[in-house]
């Protein structure tokens, strides 16, 4: 597929060069002058440079976008898993040892995935205002998951409402980050 896009860009560059050649008035005589040859060589070089620049620029940006999107998907997945374990604890009425270990592991994974996403956004020099909201709510979300008498006591109802609200807010903000990445 990469070769196909290169051919397309080459043809577009060649077409642009030919249009400029047509617009420049040429005399039709069968003698080949050095200026005509130079003009042809320059047109071909410009076509090749346009093709090279376009394919490198657009393919690199798409790769960066795909990497950032994968990192956002990873963070969403960890948040979803943490929310699911939290709801299991609420349903069971207690925090089992397995759930306690899962929650602590998932909070660490959430923090690491957000750090990787932040690093990727920085490398791409991309400003995502929604990501700042995610970072601001992350600590509150971690506190809601591990708050109260964790892991020995049941979660209070207030913590359930807080966790649910934070989960929904962070999910919406991460979706906004996806849209910001696609529009970048």
DSSP string, 146-158: H-TTTTTSPPPHH
Looking up tokens 């923090």 gives 111
Q: What is the pLDDT of residues 77-88, one digit of tens each?
A: 999 999 999 888
What mean pLDDT is reported for the chain? Answer: 80
Residue 28 pLDDT grade (very low, low, confident, very high; cuts 50, 70, 90): low
What's the fold here for domain 65-182?
Answer: 1.20.120
Distance CA(120)–CA(114), nearest Å, equals 10
Whether 27 has a pLDDT exceeding 60, the answer reads no
Whether 59 has a pLDDT exceeding 90, the answer reads no
- Residue ranges of alpha helices (H) inside 24-156 are 34-92, 97-123, 129-146
**Residue 93: left if φ>0, alpha if ψ -120 to 50, beta else—which one?**
left
Residue 25, SS3?
A: coil
Q: Closest by alpha carbon to 79, among 103, 54, 46, 58?
A: 103
Q: Which of 30-44, 148-162, 167-181 has the highest mean pLDDT?
A: 167-181
Q: Closest by alpha carbon to 83, among 182, 177, 149, 174?
A: 174
Query: In the prediction, which pLDDT does 109 show?
Result: 92
For residues 37-65, give the mean pLDDT.
78
- Output the CA torsion sign for 145, 151, 155, 156: negative
Q: Are 108 and 159 in contact (CB under 8 A)?
A: no
More reliable by pLDDT, 73 or 19: 73
Least trusted range by pLDDT, from 15-29, 38-52, 68-82, 116-130: 15-29
Q: What is the pLDDT of residues 88-143, one digit of tens each?
A: 888 877 777 888 889 889 999 999 999 998 888 888 777 777 888 888 888 888 88
The predicted model scores a pTM of 0.65
């Amino acid at each position: 597929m990469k070769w196909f896009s290169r051919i397309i860009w080459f043809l577009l560059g060649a077409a642009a060069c030919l249009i400029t050649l047509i617009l420049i008035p040429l005399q039709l005589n069968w003698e080949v002058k050095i200026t005509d040859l130079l003009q042809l060589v320059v047109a071909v070089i410009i076509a090749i440079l346009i093709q090279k620049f376009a394919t490198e620029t657009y393919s690199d940006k798409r790769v960066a976008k795909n990497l950032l999107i994968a990192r956002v998907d990873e963070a969403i997945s960890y948040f979803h898993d943490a929310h699911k374990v939290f709801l299991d604890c609420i349903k069971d009425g207690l925090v089992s040892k397995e759930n306690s270990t899962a929650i602590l592991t998932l909070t660490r994974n959430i923090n690491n995935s957000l750090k990787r996403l932040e690093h990727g956004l920085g490398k791409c020099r991309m400003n995502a205002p929604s990501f700042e909201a995610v970072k601001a709510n992350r600590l509150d979300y971690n506190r809601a998951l591990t708050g109260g008498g964790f892991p020995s006591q049941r979660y209070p109802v207030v913590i359930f409402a807080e966790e649910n609200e934070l989960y929904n807010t962070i999910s919406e903000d991460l979706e906004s980050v996806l849209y910001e990445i696609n529009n970048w």
